[in-house]
Structure formats: C-alpha cells, structure tokens
C-alpha cells in the first residue's frame, strides 16, 4: 500500500512538471498525436468561455476528452461535467477518456474508481472527477451541482435558456470555464454569437473553427463523394463547419428544438389499448433507410412512441416489421409510402396498412401538414439525432437529401389527422 501511495505521488509530481507542455502530456501520458486543428485548440490561451465549431468527424469529442483528462490530472479535487442533449452524446467524450485511462499505465494508476450509474463518473485518487450529465427535462440532472469546467458537447442542440440559466449556474461558485463544442446548426443561437464574439477579439472568449478536412484520419475521398447527396447548406454545416443561411428552411430550427426539448419520456413507449396509436413508414430505395414511426395520437401534442431505422432488408422482412409494429400497438392507422418500390410492400400488408401515393400536390400537402404541426407545437419527440438533422436540413428540392425520417414522421402525423386533401392508394379518408 505504501509503495502504491509513493507511486501515485511520483506520478502526480510528474503531471505537475508536464502541466505546462500540452504536447508532452499527449505524447507521454496518452500516446496520442493531435492533428493541427486539435493542437491549436489544446494550446489556446485560457478563457472563461471556449467555443469550438467544426465539421463532423473533425475529432471534437476526442480533443474534449484529452483536455478533460489533462485538467483532471493537473487540478486535484476539481470537478468537470460533460453535458449534452442526450446521455449517449455526452458519453462520447467520456468513453474516449475512459479508454485512455484503461490503456495508458500512468493514468490507470491514478484512477480510483469508475461508476456507470446513474451517471458515468471517472474519479481519480487525488480527488478530481469527470462526470456525465444529460440536459434532458430542462436540465433537472444538472441543478444543484457545481463544476470547475463544463463541456457542452453538440451545444447547438441545447437551447440558449438552458445553457444560460442552468449550465452556467453550475460554474457560479468558482467562476469556472464553459466549453461549447458543436457542429454548426442555428445561426441565430447562443453558440453562433459566442463564436462571433471570440473571432472578433473578445478577451473572455476563445473561438476556433475547422472543416472536416483538418482531420487526416478520415477518408477524404469518401467525404468528397457525399457532396452530390447534400444541399449546399448541409455541406457547409456538416463538412466545412460553418454556419449556413437557414432563412429558407422548411422546418424552423426553433420549432424542431422545442419538439424535443419539451419531451420527457424515453423510447419506446409501451403499448396501451386505451391510447390511439398511428404509424408512418418511409421505405428504403437503394442506399436509403427504411424508417418506421409510431405516434400516440390520443390528443395533441402527439407523442413519438417508437422509432426504428434500418436498411438493406428484403421486402418480406420489411413487411413483417410493419405488420408486427401495427399489431403491437393496435394502430388505428398505419400509413406507408406506396410510390414506386413501396407498391410491392403494400401488396404484402394491405390487411394492416394503407398506402400514400406521392404526387407533387400530395407531397406538398403532407410536408405542409408537418410544418404546421411543428410550428403549433402539436408534435413532440425525444431527441433522435437522425430525425433532428433531417428536419433541419430538409429542403423542398430534396433529390439529393436523406429524407427517410422526415417522410416517416410526416406520414405518421398525417395518419393522426390531415388538414387538407391528398391522394391515397387506396383512399382512407373518403
């Protein structure tokens, strides 16, 4: 035991010597080499607010984990929180930090314990701690806590009110550091404004941007091959890591955000014969996904009860999933895309489902119906990354877009009760 304490003290002494050299810490403690963008972030001057906005696959969660580990090792009795819109998203950086601690001998010796429930926590022998929290239910799992640093991962998915009124208050005791990390979403949001402050020279904010290309460890040719499948604004956000003009968006970001922020349940909801359930299915074409959504349409706002998304399944398997879900929830209506390839599936499930034929008019009616439902707060859903991203990126010129989640939700909302006329095969509202 004495030898272990001596070894711990020796390692902590080494950490103090390495504290001023970030790259020495990366190499000696982690066996890890940051790319140029990550190196700029790690060696940036300390600020009370730090903002990192980049394209996807840049390595944000990885660099956040490295920074959190270095702070934990060099600041005894410190407490850091990693926060995101879901626990799974917040765990990304935590799991990278945990991997380093399990792999690297110096860190492994310093770990006192790892706790998985109710919230993942990594505690070191000198009292520092890294813990994970979800921002769900208006930040209830953050209230009453205090931190020296909070890392908000995919911060653009959190509302400004939640960050200002809940997250910032966890730092109030010590005047701690707020770290906002995100792929760009809404130009008018808090992250965008903090980024602009930092880029304009505000001495309290460090700001950095970067495209996916900065990461040499991703397949650049593959990323380029996606360009023809994305709108210009989606390419700007997801790859170039810059904010795009969203004034022409079909579904307003504030309405999408309200739909998932106001949800308080986990998926799936259990079937209940006293409730009125409806389902919508968008069927895969070539490389697309098949998406099925069940709504509790008993009253407004409708609640998303079940979500599934898969691809490359034969039609009999798809038909079996549609029938199984319809019967599990005893759906009042199950509506599927009966255009093109969907016609074959419709033949297999006519006993439980009805088809929707997409024409120029019917598609506009369907999407307008969903647009109004979102604006009027008539539909809510737990945060599902694929659904949220498709809704934000959707444009009426959608030939290059992934639209499976949008269409499945639109079909389910229509099955709950349409506002206008539309063509069906066969008609279910005649």
Give this prediction's pTM. 0.78
Task: For domain 253-425, give its CATH number from 3.90.76.10, 3.50.50.60, 3.30.420.240, 3.40.50.720.
Answer: 3.30.420.240
Sign of CA dihedral 68, 70, 73, 74: negative
Residue ranges covered by each domain of the chain: 2-238, 253-425
CA distance 415 to 232: 32
Can you give the pLDDT at residue 2?
Answer: 46
- Predicted confidence pLDDT, tens digits, the chain (430 residues): 445 455 677 776 666 666 568 888 899 889 999 999 999 999 999 999 999 999 999 999 999 999 999 999 999 999 999 999 989 999 999 999 999 999 999 899 999 999 998 899 999 999 999 999 999 888 888 988 999 999 999 999 998 999 999 999 999 999 999 999 999 987 778 999 999 999 999 999 999 999 999 999 999 999 998 887 777 788 899 999 999 876 667 898 889 999 998 888 999 999 999 999 999 999 987 678 999 999 999 999 999 999 999 998 888 999 999 999 999 999 999 999 988 766 778 888 999 999 999 888 899 999 999 999 999 999 999 999 999 989 988 888 888 788 999 999 999 999 998 755 444 444 343 3
Cα–Cα dist 278/408, whole Å: 11
Strand order in the sheet with 277-282: 379-380, 302-310, 290-296, 277-282, 333-337, 354-356, 424-425
Q: Which two tokens stand for residue 420?
A: 């206008």
In the prediction, which pLDDT does 198 show? 95
CA angle, 325 then 330 then 336, to 5° = 50
The answer to whether 286 touches 341, Cβ cutoff 8 Å, is: no
Question: What pLDDT sits at residue 244?
Answer: 83
Same fold, 2-238 and 253-425: no
Please say whether the structural domain 2-238 has been given the CATH code 3.40.50.300. Answer: yes
Residue 115, SS3 per DSSP: strand
Query: How many Cα atoms sit within 13 Å of 235 on the Cβ side?
Result: 11
């Amino acid at each position: 035991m004495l030898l272990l304490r001596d070894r711990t003290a020796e390692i902590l002494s080494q950490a103090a010597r390495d504290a001023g050299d970030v790259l020495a810490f990366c190499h000696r403690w982690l066996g890890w080499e940051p790319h140029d963008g990550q190196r700029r972030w790690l060696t940036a001057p300390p600020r009370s607010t730090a903002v990192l906005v980049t394209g996807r696959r840049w390595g944000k969660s990885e660099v956040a984990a490295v920074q959190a580990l270095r702070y934990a090792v060099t600041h005894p009795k410190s407490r850091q929180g990693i926060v995101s819109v879901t626990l799974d998203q917040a765990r990304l950086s935590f799991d990278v930090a945990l991997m380093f601690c399990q792999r690297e001998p110096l860190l492994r010796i310093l770990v006192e314990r790892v706790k998985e429930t109710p919230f993942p926590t990594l505690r070191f022998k000198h009292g520092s701690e890294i813990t994970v929290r979800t921002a769900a239910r208006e930040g209830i799992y953050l209230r009453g806590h205090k931190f020296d640093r909070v890392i908000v991962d995919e911060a653009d998915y959190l509302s400004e009110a939640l960050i200002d009124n809940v997250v910032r208050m966890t730092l109030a005791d010590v005047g701690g550091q707020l770290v906002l990390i995100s792929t760009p979403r809404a130009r008018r949001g808090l992250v965008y404004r903090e980024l602009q402050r930092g880029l304009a020279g505000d001495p309290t904010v460090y700001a950095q941007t970067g495209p996916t290309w900065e990461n040499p460890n991703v397949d650049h040719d593959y990323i380029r091959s996606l360009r023809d499948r994305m709108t210009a604004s989606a390419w700007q956000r997801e790859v170039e890591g810059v904010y795009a003009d969203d004034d022409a968006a079909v579904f307003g970001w504030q309405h999408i955000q309200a739909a998932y922020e106001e949800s308080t349940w986990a998926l799936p909801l259990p079937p209940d014969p006293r409730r009125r359930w409806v389902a919508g299915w968008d069927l895969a074409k070539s490389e697309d996904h098949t998406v099925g959504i069940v709504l509790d349409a008993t009253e407004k706002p409708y609640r998303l009860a079940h979500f599934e998304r898969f691809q490359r399944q034969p039609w009999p398997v798809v038909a079996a999933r549609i029938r199984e879900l319809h019967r599990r929830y005893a759906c009042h209506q199950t509506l599927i895309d009966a255009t093109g390839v969907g016609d074959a599936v419709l033949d297999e499930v006519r006993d439980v489902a009805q088809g929707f034929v997409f024409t120029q008019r019917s598609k506009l009616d369907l999407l307008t119906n969903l647009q109004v439902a979102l604006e009027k707060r008539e539909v809510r859903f737990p945060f599902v990354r694929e659904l949220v991203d498709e809704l934000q990126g959707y444009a009426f010129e959608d030939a290059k877009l992934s639209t499976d989640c949008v269409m499945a939700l639109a079909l389910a909302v229509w099955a709950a009760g349409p506002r206008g006329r539309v063509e069906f095969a066969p008609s279910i509202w005649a």
